[in-house]
Amino acid sequence: MKKFIYLLFCISFCWACDTKKPAKPFAGDRQFQTTDPARLYFKNIRSIAYYRTRKPPSEIDIYEARKSARTNKRPILYPQILDNWLDNEAYIFIEKNAFSKFVTPLTIKVESDSLLTTFEIAIFNKKNQYEFAGNMFQALKNGQVLSVKTKEGVFIPIFQNYQDKANFMMTMQDYYRLIELDRKGKLGQVK
């Protein structure tokens, strides 16, 4: 009987010391990759500033700033952070409010004392959204004035309201922190 108990103890000890399976390698696009520490920081500390929703068929959490304006009298572009936690990725998507004069493709004019340029987005995929949002972030960070093209062909300034600009900058900074862009050494190199 003692030998049987000893044998069971040895077998259970061997099963308890089983080695862990290695984590599956990341297979996605590195520019969208998140890590567990970055996601925990975002969910535990920063997510209080956002409304979180999830579309039923997907496992992607969508975060939108709580203080976003809900008007359709002026054009507002606001970023949403999409946390694809199953694939360890996060995306930034730019959403338009219900302003009736937005034109497709979405065209932004950037103005400063020494610069006048435009950029647009026609196809709203994750790569184009990332570059488009990064361009707007860099322009706002540099103190430039952004305007959006309307159906009439005129440009209307956006981010003139302090809260709109603050929400945009906060969301972009939280997104860059989530994908650890500063750790990847590319924060100053967003196109």
Query: With 50 as the cut, is the pLDDT of residue 188 above it?
Result: no
Domains of the chain, by residue range, sit at 24-185
**Whole-structure pTM value:** 0.81
pLDDT (mean) for 172-186: 83
Tens digits of residue pLDDT in 29-70: 778 999 999 999 999 999 999 999 998 888 899 999 998 888
> Which amino acid type is present at position 106?
L
Cis peptide before 105 (omega within 30 of 0): yes
* pLDDT attached to residue 123: 85
> Using 50, 70 and 90 to split pLDDT, how confident is the model at 191?
very low
DSSP 94-132: EEE-S-TTB-SSEEEEEE-SS-EEEEEESS--HHHHHHH
More reliable by pLDDT, 187 or 91: 91
Residues 114 and 129: their CA atoms lie apart, in Å, by: 26
